[in-house]
């Protein structure tokens, strides 16, 4: 036998799954598919996108209307990425990405977080990627899909 066994529907079952989505990565379709595959019948699946808060003085300098325009663009892109994803709840929250994913999962009783990850660059080795932080600190299971 060669390679890893393929995940089949019904192999692992979770009842409350959070799909952490990054709108600038092209893995949304795959992470939603994985969430469906590992969900129990009647499971709750929530797609979450975190709007990263501008850092320090940049936040104070941005006018409210510019922030609102950015939020509206993110909402439109989020809806486009989710397409007609039936039965998937949507959550769009402003905050620090890693901390917000973890807080949301804890506050909503999530039992599995599904998220994508990119190949790490030098900064990821020094600081750690969002997926690495979530995996290290989550109180629930985390499934990381390594896309592209």
* Number of domains, the chain: 1
**Edge-to-edge strand ranges of the sheet holding 39-52:** 88-95, 39-52, 14-21, 112-117, 141-146
Question: Per the domain annotation, does 133 fall within a domain?
Answer: yes
Q: Of all residues in the chain, what percent carry a pLDDT higher than 90?
A: 40
| Conformational region of residue 95, where left means phi above 0, alpha means psi within -120 to 50, and beta covers everything else | left
Per-residue pLDDT tens over the stretch 62-75: 566 677 777 888 88
Task: Find the range with the poorest average confidence among 54-58, 78-82, 95-99, 110-114.
Answer: 54-58
Does residue 98 form part of some domain? yes
CATH number at residue 103: 3.40.50.620
Q: What is the pTM of this model?
A: 0.79
pLDDT category at 55 given cuts 50, 70, 90 is low
Contact call for residues 102 and 66 (beta carbons, < 8 A): no
Q: What confidence category does residue 9 fall into, taking pLDDT thresholds of 50, 70 and 90?
A: low
């Amino acid at each position: 036998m060669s390679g890893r066994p393929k995940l089949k529907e019904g192999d692992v079952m979770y009842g409350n799954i959070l799909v952490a989505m990054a709108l600038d990565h092209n893995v949304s379709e795959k992470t939603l598919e994985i969430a469906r595959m590992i969900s129990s019948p009647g499971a709750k699946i929530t797609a979450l996108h975190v709007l990263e808060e501008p850092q320090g003085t940049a936040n104070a300098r941005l006018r409210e209307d510019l922030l609102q325009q950015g939020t509206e663009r993110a909402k439109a892109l989020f809806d486009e990425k989710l397409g007609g994803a039936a039965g998937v709840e949507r959550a769009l929250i402003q905050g620090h990405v890693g901390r917000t994913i973890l807080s949301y999962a804890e506050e909503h009783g999530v039992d599995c977080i599904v998220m994508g990850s990119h190949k790490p660059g030098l900064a990821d080795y020094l600081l750690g990627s969002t997926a690495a932080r979530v995996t290290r600190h989550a109180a629930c299971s985390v499934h990381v899909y390594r896309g592209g």
